[in-house]
Amino acid sequence: MKASKKKKNMKRNYLSLKIRKRKSESKRALKKEKSETID
């Protein structure tokens, strides 16, 4: 039971990390687009 709970937490952490990464990547992409339109 404990092991399965740990696995669940790991999966949740992994998913939240993926989401955070995607968010930061989209932010960077927006910045890039803005700088390109300014040029």
Low-confidence residues of the chain, pLDDT below 70?
Answer: 1, 38-39
Supply the pLDDT for residue 1.
Answer: 61
**Which two three-digit tokens encode residue 29?**
């992409």
Supply the pLDDT for residue 16.
Answer: 95
Supply the pLDDT for residue 32.
Answer: 84
Domain residues for the domain of 8 are 1-39
Structural domain total, the chain: 1
Integer CA distances (angstroms), 8 to 11, 16, 19, 20, 22, in order: 5, 12, 17, 18, 21
Supply the pLDDT for residue 39.
Answer: 58
Integer CA distances (angstroms), 36 to 20, 24, 28, in order: 24, 18, 12
- Residue type, position 6, single letter: K
